[in-house]
Chain A
Amino acid sequence: DADVTQTPRNRITKTGKRIMLECSQTKGHDRMYWYRQDPGLGLRLIYYSFDVKDINKGEISDGYSVSRQAQAKFSLSLESAIPNQTALYFCATSDPGTGTETQYFGPGTRLLVL
């Protein structure tokens, strides 16, 4: 969905490096999410934010941090990358005003930690 963009699309980094993945949305949604996807494990929630002042941990937040700089921007940081953080990372947004909680996903960032 072009309304949710993620940068970079691909990233290779080394163990111990700090990296940031960025997400921007033009949908005007208050809620934003970061997931990681690993083969056979589906989507696991890392962090979510229901508005600019609200940040919540998901199931697998250890080793990650986030920043909600504005309604439209939600960044995910790996403080000290490790190889088992190699995965596909997705950002998503939703609008609680619709009542359906439908989430809209970005195209993903493929991260390889060497």
Chain B
Amino acid sequence: GEDVEQSLFLSVREGDSSVINCTYTDSSSTYLYWYKQEPGAGLQLLTYIFSNMDMKQDQRLTVLLNKKDKHLSLRIADTQTGDSAIYFCAENTFRGSTLGRLYFGRGTQLTVWP
């Protein structure tokens, strides 16, 4: 497909793990990203993964990359109410242009219940 796709909503209980999934379009994308948007704020880079990696871990965050299926996931361990936000997946690709840039998914609204 032509779009970066994510499910729109995810609800979890505080203390559980959250897994946000994304499918992207271009198997030659060099970097894939997760951004976080808190209410009323701009997007903040959460983490990124280089395409030659399968996994990247950063404290409570684990990114898994399956290049064969063009699937990216973000796992948040011990999810807290402060993790409630919109999470955007993005890929760095050319899509026929001579210059690469980022293409974003629609975002997944994560709601964490106490």
Contacts and interface: CB of A to CB of B under 8 A. Distances in A.
A50 B49 CA distance: 23
A112 to B, nearest CB: 15
Interface residues of B, number: 21
Interface residues of A, number: 22
A42 B42 contact: no
Interface in B1-45: 8, 30-31, 33, 35, 41-45
Interface in A41-65: 41-43, 45, 48, 50
B72 to A, nearest CB: 15
A90 B86 CA distance: 15
Contacts of B99: 50
B102 A101 contact: yes
The 9 closest A-B pairs by CB, nearest first: A42-B106, A105-B42, A105-B43, A43-B104, A101-B92, A107-B42, A42-B107, A108-B42, A100-B31
21 contacts: A1-B44, A33-B101, A41-B106, A42-B106, A43-B104, A45-B101, A48-B101, A50-B99, A90-B42, A90-B43, A94-B102, A100-B31, A101-B92, A103-B43, A103-B45, A105-B35, A105-B43, A105-B44, A106-B42, A107-B41, A108-B42
